[in-house]
Structure 1
Amino acid sequence: MTAFVEDDIRELLDELGARLEAVGRRASVYVFGGSALALTRLRDRSTEDIDVVSRDWAELVDVVSAMALDYDLPSDWMNVKGAGFAVGSEDDAGAVTFVTGGLTVRVASSRHLLAYKLRAARVTDEADIQHLLDDLGVRSVADAVTITRSVVGDDPVPDLDYDDLAVYLGRYRIDG
């Protein structure tokens, strides 16, 4: 398994941007998940892929595939499979944006990352969720639910309603 840390992620995004620029292409990606936590230094962690949402995937896919071959990376090192969890990515006013070569990168804000992690409600996300709750100063279940609802709307996931989310949040260091 490949594990990317902040420097690896930045180098890969820089290389992707340089390759796009070299062939006269431009593309944008919205980075979320563990790679966003690493890029924003919200958490010193590694991740096995770079989760992105991109309307420009057709511009990216061949360059991403070539980089996988050139650097012996997994074929899904840049992962679009989780894009369904990144609802509201275009409305993320707190996203950090930078440009590298032909690539514009928007990195998810803490509020959006928290909402996405809570929406997924995976055991593997528990440390990230606690860190985001602390980073945002969330001290109540109601506040966490409000943040999630403001990002993902009234239907976080088909099998998890906001009452279930409130119960799920009970495991974290926040008040009722």
Structure 2
Amino acid sequence: MSKNLQIATVGGGCFWCTEAVFEEVNGVEKVISGYSGGTVPGRPTYREICSGLTGHAEVVQVTFDANVISYQDILIIFMTTHDPTTLNQQGADRGTQYRSVIFYHNETQKNTATLVLNELAAYYKNPIVTEITKAETFFEAEKEHQDFYKNNPDYGYCTFVIDPKLRKLRQLHSDKLK
């Protein structure tokens, strides 16, 4: 059977976390950490993004085989492995670059994102603040940010922030993992 490769672009705080989550999902072919949604011209750097002044969010671009996993399932995994109710914040990471956002690539993705957010709203005590925004330019992050968790599993941030997200992923979505 031929592959039906599609792209999902999401931001749920630090891209190291979101990248680590999706690298374990069956049907995901590739995960690239990067930046999207900014308003300044040119290619942003990590340092510029961290200032919060560029308008970009830390995101991952997920290439997945829709014959194996649906876009809806990608979004459900995304929404349940970060806190979509905290505005411009995930844990200790604060700033617009850490906002919860779904960048849709077509109207079908936009409609699916709206549906998923509406369906999941009842499961959260606080309102979901995840943005649904049209995908624009995606900038791949610097090399040292790619596969960060895989390359640095004992780094403090990884053990204290990413490991709990991976445990949650494995608990909630074991049927969707590689």
Structure 2 length-normalised TM? 0.27
Larger Rg: 1
| Bigger relative contact order, structure 1 or 2 (CA pairs below 8 A, ≥6 apart) | 2
Higher-strand-fraction structure:
2
Higher-helix-fraction structure:
1
